[in-house]
Amino acid sequence: MKINNNVASYLMKEDDQSEDGIESIINRVERFLGEGKLAEAADALEAGIHGSQAEEVVSEWVRRARDRAVTDQALSLLQAYATAINLT
C-alpha cells in the first residue's frame, strides 16, 4: 500500500498544472537551456523536483550541467585573456 501512495503522490505532482507543476518546471528549464543558461537550468530543475522521486534521477544531469557551466565560464575567461594579451 505504501508504494501505491508514493506512486499516486508522484503522479499527482506530475499532473499539477500550477506554477510549480512538472510541466512548468520543464518549460522553465527548457527556456534557460534555449538561452544558454546551464547553471540556471540546473538550479531550476533541482529546485523544482526537490523532495520528489525524480530528484535521484536528475541529480547526475544537474551535476554535469553545473560542471559544464563552470567549464564554459572558464573557457570564456581564458579566451578574453588571450584576446587581451594578443592586443598588447
Which of 23, 78, 84, 88 is CA-nearest to residue 49? 23
CA distance 10 to 21: 11
What the block records as the C-alpha cell of 27 is 518549460
Q: What is the mean pLDDT of residues 32-55?
A: 95
Give the pLDDT band (50/70/90) at residue 11.
Answer: very low
Grid cell for residue 5 = 501512495
Evaluate whether 62 touches 45 at the Cβ level (below 8 Å): yes
The set of cell numbers assigned to 46 is: 533541482
Classify residue 18 by its DSSP letter. Answer: S
Q: How far apart are CA 14 and CA 78, in angstroms?
A: 42
Convert the pLDDT of each residue in 52-77 to its tens digit. 988 999 999 999 999 999 999 999 99
